[in-house]
A and B are shown apart, each in its own frame.
Chain A
Amino acid sequence: QKEVEQDPGPLSVPEGAIVSLNCTYSNSAFQYFMWYRQYSRKGPELLMYTYSSGNKEDGRFTAQVDKSSKYISLFIRDSQPSDSATYLCAMSASSAGGTSYGKLTFGQGTILTVHP
């Protein structure tokens, strides 16, 4: 079983829809949670970063972390065709000294298409 599970989709939605992307994980040591967006033939781009449980909002994007359920979500409001990309969740455990370094564990990525 993989440490991080992510539904690969593909997910196809109409423009303006609310998109929900999710990941589950098994490693209870994970404390840092990230969402990346990757366009075709490009490198991953950091969208959101959350430490421990709770919600974080940035424009049309909201990240939620529920550590009790080992479940994280990314919501995209008013989705646009330019949001069409692969979305990757990533996680990291705290290291000695309380920071996070080294390995990020990624989900497989969800392919999202927003059609006009």
Chain B
Amino acid sequence: DSGVTQTPKHLITATGQRVTLRCSPRSGDLSVYWYQQSLDQGLQFLIQYYNGEERAKGNILERFSAQQFPDLHSELNLSSLELGDSALYFCASSVSQKNTEAFFGQGTRLTVV
């Protein structure tokens, strides 16, 4: 167990809907990262927050948004969902801003039908 908690573990929803994925980082970690893992694209970096501020942005779609709250938990919001958004979404956390020290959660499996 990495200490990074993601909820829910599984989510099934219809196209056009909006969902929120939640991540609680390890105790003491200030950075949170979001990744998307699909069979064809592999693991793709979406966004990093550090102590509440956006630190780095990857190939995150405009339909997706994220934030990190004062208690350091983070949420990833996915809207106007499409079939192609079906994937595993991972959250990772690290003490510092260094992505070389990140620990991954178990992931949320999103299925869009």
A: which residues have CB within 8 A of B? Answer: 32, 34, 36, 41-46, 49, 88, 90, 92, 99-109
Give the chain B neighbours of A103 by CB distance below 8 A: 45, 48, 56, 58, 99
Instruction: Give the complex CA separation of A43 and B34 in angstroms.
Output: 12
Contact B106 A102 (CB under 8 A): no
Number of interface residues of B (CB under 8 A): 27
Instruction: Give the complex CA separation of A16 and B106 in angstroms.
Output: 29
Give the chain A neighbours of B56 by CB distance below 8 A: 101-103
Query: Quick one: given A43-B2, A102-B48, A102-B99, are A88 and B55 in contact (CB under 8 Å)?
Result: no
| 11 A-B residue pairs with CB within 8 Å | A43-B105, A43-B106, A46-B102, A92-B100, A99-B96, A101-B50, A101-B97, A101-B98, A103-B48, A103-B56, A105-B45
Q: Interface residues of B: mostly helix, strand, loop or mixed? A: strand
Question: Nearest Cβ distance between residue A69 and chain B, in whole angstroms?
Answer: 22
Contact A99 B98 (CB under 8 A): yes
Interface residue ranges of B4-46 to A (CB < 8 Å): 4, 31, 42-45
Please pick, from A42, A49, A88, A102, the residue contacting B58 in the complex, using a CB distance under 8 A.
A102
Instruction: Give the complex CA separation of A107 and B42 in angstroms.
Output: 7
Instruction: Give the complex CA separation of A35 and B97 in angstroms.
Output: 19
- Nearest CB to that of B4 among chain A residues? A43
Contact B45 A102 (CB under 8 A): yes
Instruction: Give the complex CA separation of A105 and B58 in angstroms.
Output: 10
Please pick, from B98, B99, B106, the residue contacting A42 in the complex, using a CB distance under 8 A.
B106
Contact A101 B103 (CB under 8 A): no
Contact A100 B100 (CB under 8 A): yes
Contact A32 B100 (CB under 8 A): yes
Residues 94-113 of B, flagged 1 when their CB comes within 8 A of A and 0 if not, give 00111111111111000000
Interface residue ranges of B62-113 to A (CB < 8 Å): 90, 92, 96-107
Contact B42 A44 (CB under 8 A): no
Question: Nearest Cβ distance between residue B61 and chain A, in whole angstroms?
Answer: 16
